[in-house]
Amino acid sequence: MAAAGVRERFGSRAGFLLAAAGSAVGLGNMWRFPYLASENGGAAFVLVYVVLTLLLGIPLLLAEFAIGRRGQSGPIGSLRKLGGRGWGALGYLFVLVGGVILAYYSVIAGWTVRYGLEALLTGFAPSSAEHFAEVSSGADAVAFHVAFMAATVLIVVGGVKGGIERASLVMMPMLFVMLVGLAVWAATLDGAGAGYAVYLQPKFAEIMHPDVWRAAASQAFFSLSLGMGGMLTFASYLSRDQNLPESATVVAFTDFSVAFVAGLLVFPVIYSFALQDAVSASTIGALFIAVPSAFAAMGAVGRVVGLVFFLVLALGAITSTISLLEVVTASAMDEYGLSRRRAALLAGTAITLVGVVPALDTDVLGLMDKVVGELLLLAGGLVLAVFAGWRLRGPVREELLAGASPFWRRQVPWILLVLRFVVPAIVAVVLFFSLRGTLAAVAEFAAG
C-alpha cells in the first residue's frame, strides 16, 4: 500500500481515457505501424490489423481493465490478491517486461527529441543515413535517453492525477491536432497519390500470408500496450462507476485512428521522395533515415514540418513512457511500501542504466524490440486472457457489467466468449510460430 493507505484515483473520465490512449499511442503508431504496413502489403496489413484489434485488442484491454480495477493494485498485487501466490509470481513477469520496454523505448524517444532540436536549431543533415548513425550511437544517444527518462520520472513523481493525468490532458489533444495538420499537408505533396495507392489498395494475396497475421498480432499488442500490465495498472486507479467496455473501445479506436493517420502522412512523404528503399533497408532506422531526408530536401518548409513531426513523436512517446514507468513504480509502492517519489526514482534510475546498452548499440535495441514484441507481450497476454477468462471468470464478468450502459451490458457475454476461446487460441498459435524465429535471432546475435 502507498504510504497514505488510500489508493490514488484519476480525477475525471477524460483523464483516464487520455492517459490510457496516451499509453497506447506512441512510437508504435507512428514508427512501427507505417513501417510494418509498407513491408507487409500495405492495405492488406491495415485490414488484418483492424480485425485483430477487434478480436484480440479490445477483449485483452478489457481483461486488463477488469483485473486492475478489481485488484486495486499493480499486476503483481492484483494477480496475487485475485488468484493466489502462483499467479502473483507471474505478475513479476509484467513488471520486468515493462522495464525492458522502457529501457529501449526511451532511447528511440531520445532520438525523436534530438531530431526535433535539430529542426529547430540547425536544420536536417543532408546525408540522413550517416547522420542517423551518429544520432543512434555514442554519448549523444545516451544523453538524450537519460534526458527522456528524467522527464518521464518527473511526471510520474507528480502522481496519477497531478502528473500522469495532467500531462495526458494537455499532450494528447496537442498530438491529435498536429498529426491531422501534418496529414493534410502531406496530401498536398506531388507523390501523395502514389503513396496512398500503396497504403490503401489491398493486395489480397498478402492477406493469406501467415507472416502478415503474425506481424499484425504483435503490433496490436505493442500498440495497445497489452501484455505488460500497463492498462491493468491504470485501471487500478478507477472507481466502479466507469464503463469499461466503452472505454476499451474508445482507447482501441483512438489508437488505430492515430496509426492510420500516421500512415496517411508517412506514405505520401516516402513516395514523393522515392524513399521506399531507405525504408526497407533498416528496420529500426527506417523512419529516422527516410523521413528526415525528405525534410532535408524541402528546405525551410521541411524544417517547420519536421519540427512538428518530431514533436508529435516525442509527445506520443512520453505519454507511453510514463505508463511503462508507472507499472514498475506502482508495483514497487504496492509491494515494498515505498513512497511514490522513491519508487519512481529507483525504478527510473535502474531502467536508465539498462537503457545505456541499447543506446550504444542499435542491434541490441532491435533484438530487445523483437523479443518483447514477438514473445514477451504475447506471453503476457496469454497469461492475462487465461486468468481473466478462466480463473477469474465470474468476477471479470461482474467488473465488465458494473458501470456499463445497457448497450454495453448486452455485449459482455460474447466479449467473454472471445476472451476465453478466441484470444488464447490465436495468441498461442502466433506464439508458437514466432518462437523459432525469435530464438534463432537471439542465437544469431549471441553468436556474434
Of 106 and 272, which has the nearer Cβ to ligand PHE? 106
Our CB check for ligand PHE shows the closer of 131 and 370 to be 370
Distance CA 67, CA 85 (A): 15
Q: How far is the CB of 383 from ligand PHE (least distance, A)?
A: 15
- Cβ distance to ligand PHE smaller for residue 119 or 314: 314
Provide the minimum distance between the beta carbon of 296 and ligand PHE in the complex, in angstroms, as a whole number: 25
Shortest Cβ 382–ligand PHE spacing (Å): 16
Minimum CB distance to ligand PHE smaller for 22 or for 403? 22
CB 317 within 8 Å of CB 29: no
Name which of 136 and 218 has its Cβ closer to ligand PHE: 218
Quote the least distance from Cβ 284 to ligand PHE, whole Å: 14
Minimum separation from the CB atom of position 53 to ligand PHE (A) = 12
- Residue 247 CB contacts under 8 Å (≥ 6 apart), including other chains: 13, 16, 17, 20, 65
CB-CB contact of 256 with 53 (8 Å): yes
Minimum CB–partner distance for residue 226 and ligand PHE (Å): 7
Task: For the CB of residue 141, give the shortest distance to ligand PHE in the complex, in Å.
Answer: 19
Using CB under 6 A as the criterion, which residues of the chain lie in contact with ligand PHE when the complex forms? Answer: 23-24, 26-29, 101, 222-223, 225, 228, 230, 320, 323-324
* Nearer to ligand PHE among residue 251 and residue 294 (C-beta): 251
For the CB of residue 75, give the shortest distance to ligand PHE in the complex, in Å: 12
| Burial letters 60-90, b for 16+ CB under 10 A, else e | bbbbbbbbbbbbbbbbbbbbbbbbeeebbeb
If the CB atoms of residues 27 and 46 are measured against ligand PHE, the closer one turns out to be: 27
Cβ nearer to ligand PHE, comparing 136 with 293: 136
Query: How near is the Cβ of 49 to ligand PHE at its closest, in Å?
Result: 13
Nearer to ligand PHE among residue 228 and residue 343 (C-beta): 228
Distance between CA atoms of residues 363 and 383, nearest Å: 29
Taking the least distance from each CB to ligand PHE, the nearer of 36 and 307 is 36
∠ CA 138-106-112, nearest 5°, is 75
CB of 222 to ligand PHE, least distance (A): 5
